[in-house]
Structure 1
């Protein structure tokens, strides 16, 4: 079997088994897939490791010792110190080596997979269907492996095969996972299908900005008018969705600014709080702010009574234009974090 076939088979095995699109891991696997052919000085790896390959071929026939489960165990043990550097790199080595020699099971002579027993593992049973090195069938196999590798890289770059399938289907759980894993690196946008919980008005493909994951079931969305919604499948969600497709819009940088309050007001913050920030944290207030409950939207401000007329104000991803009219002139104590999502290629205003 050609060296290219070995490398592609190992690269595919690493990409599929580890669910990775990492060039490093796939490259390590592709190189490890050449190691079994170190038992012959005529191979690419054999010429590279000539002193070792020459000694091996003097004692053991081709596709015996190095093409076996015993050799795979030896490779796993030999490279075990790599585990302390990266478990995935070690896994790529072992998987790459395994798929490298297993590919030779489909050749006419097969491999001594259970060495030191000399019985050969040959697939398939019909000799006419077995591969010959450089044959048209092998070049067809190369094409299939190349397509499989490209497809697996495409799927894994989206977070893995199952996540890609779930994301394509728009499952809310997949949306939450994507927000948790990439919400600090990408501006995310969600297309939703479902109903508004109170009005039972249908939602068909409406687009929202994704702000954060609230729980494992729900995400926080913002519409074009700035209103916030809890969307998901929990009973607390304002948007009951059965399909939520999240997409990356553009890479971002997250800017965090801590705001300390000691009997000061939000309007006294210097420099002023940016309008595109989202405020989270807890403030202690001496009086209850006047507000009208809004069951149709997510309320970023939650009040907790402390007695003696004092309240704790819990803020979660609160837009300043919704909070400043309520708390802007109220002396407060505590700490808030202002979070801004700035396009990586953009200029800060």
Structure 2
């Protein structure tokens, strides 16, 4: 679930996949639809996959079950969504899906004038063992630009950056300052990168900082223009009615002081301890600091039957921030 929520953080639309050879809805179908809602995706296309494995009348009956599922969830993005029968294995109707993506999912308006802001959803070290020192390349961050434009040779900041604890156990963060040396979209090398699509950003930073997705959940952008780094959040809770995705779908019990939740903020997954609960407000202490801003939506998950289950979402109202040292480049 955490992986799905993190990936959805940068998407403009989604494909909701339903298997034709199973009953609809499966426990996680509602959970995934709720996740799409939380991540503010306005457009989805429902795919009825594996139609090659069932008889025609079974596929038709299940298509009706999908329509009933959509009616039950009226008021969500599922309402009015097209249902396309496909077989991914045999590539049936994939051309229709591509046509729907082009026609039904509009390209959002992008703002190129704001300072650049990019969510990191992947990071890696592209150096192979045995490389000579002169051949070593800097760390690479992958993600999607939300606003602004990134340029080759531009100096950038990554927040929260390197997070350490002092002798008293207090967290401290040091943003990473680096320079862009290359920009890639697919196999195309770019001089400028704009919002939309996935971008690989090659930098001069130490590749050990980007190895094995270490930068996932961080935010990259112009020096001095990124949001604050929070260690505590005050969240206005809008809890869902049922434990999404669980076989035993029941009402969600209220948050309890001291319990541990999992939060998804943008592409960051982090644990959080409930410090206090009052009416619809909850104060949460984060396991690791997050670069975010007030008004941002977050997904709340609770451990149910040994699995993290989505229980609803909240909105950041306020919080305690870490002091970020000023950039030596400013």
| Range of TM-score over shorter length | under 0.3
Structure number with greater Rg is 1
What is the TM-score when the length of structure 1 is the normalising length?
Answer: 0.19
Higher-helix-fraction structure: 1
- Larger RCO, structures 1/2 (Cα 8 Å, 6+ apart): 2
What is the TM-score when the length of structure 2 is the normalising length?
Answer: 0.20
